[in-house]
Chain A
């Protein structure tokens, strides 16, 4: 599999999905004109990646968003649903939810995601 590398714009995040390091990231802002369309490639990539993932492999997903709109929130939920299912079938995925200390909204929305999943673990990381 190839690395998926999407450069950030004013309204879309930087995305790096790396099948060799198994450390992935979504970083920046997310309010695309059409969220479903923008993230379609990410879903395609993840489907193939999770399919071929060994259960023993540790996977880290770093989510470092400053702001995301409501349709991006739906997309994030769909991504976490995929991870949660994968964890249920024995895979080892951790989400690092990275936020600036004064960004309460992002922390709150992260906690709301965390409380909805049983198998997928969220780790909260505050930036200095």
Chain B
């Protein structure tokens, strides 16, 4: 058990984390937290450009957790999908960092890795071309959106995306993606 919740919060704050969430996510959380984030940055007089970049990455990351986390409650039983995952937004050394995390299967990992590697090596012009190409293409059978989320995150970030697959057991990995603005 956590002995001191105050220390727990202080530890997060020391890392610059201003928002952290672990648990069930649905579209209500997307709207609610997204709006609070934007309001907070507006109050702190963060420029529209930066605040919309942060917001944009936040939306793509959280919607990816909802769509692709391997931990989920089947949609048929609900009005709105619920998936389990992690989201972190922080600010350190004058930069914002955003991290999304969720469990994926071995099969998902194999599919994602190649495309993430490709995106992480592209410069802004290549990303723009790739984004346009993919937007024209039909989304893959595994995609629940337009298949553009990772490219969008990379376009809005000031550094290449970082990603990791941490092995949980034979079948499962914990997938994280980190973006910096």
Contacts and interface: CB of A to CB of B under 8 A. Distances in A.
Interface in A53-104: 66-67, 69-71, 73-74, 77, 100, 102-104
B47 interface: yes
Given A35-B146, A70-B151, A112 B49 contact: no
A83 B103 CA distance: 41
Interface in B127-181: 128, 132, 135-136, 139, 144-146, 148-149, 151-152, 156
Most central of A71, A105, A116 by chain B CB within 10 Å: A71
Contact of B56 (A11, A69, A116): A69
Given A69-B63, A73-B135, A31 B128 contact: no
A11 B128 CA distance: 25
A70 B145 contact: yes
A71 B56 contact: no
Contacts of B148: 70-71, 73-74
A117 to B, nearest CB: 12
Nearest to B128: A112
B48 A70 contact: no
A21 interface: no
A69 B152 contact: yes
Nearest to A9: B31
B35 interface: yes
A10 interface: yes
A10 B33 CA distance: 11
Interface residues on A, range: 20 to 34
Contacts of B145: 35, 70-71, 74
Contacts of A103: 48-49, 52
A32 to B, nearest CB: 8
A33 interface: yes
Interface string B22-62: 00000100110011000000000001110011011001100
A31 B56 CA distance: 10
Contacts of B66: 33
B30 A74 contact: no
Contacts of A102: 47-49
Q: Which 7 A-B pairs have the closest CB atoms?
A: A74-B146, A70-B148, A71-B145, A33-B27, A70-B152, A71-B146, A102-B48
8 contacts: A9-B31, A31-B30, A35-B145, A67-B56, A73-B148, A77-B135, A77-B136, A105-B156
Given A67-B56, A112-B128, 17 more contacts: A10-B35, A11-B27, A33-B27, A33-B30, A33-B66, A67-B55, A69-B60, A70-B60, A70-B146, A70-B149, A74-B146, A77-B135, A77-B136, A102-B49, A104-B49, A105-B49, A105-B52
Interface of A: 9-11, 31, 33-35, 66-67, 69-71, 73-74, 77, 100, 102-105, 112, 116
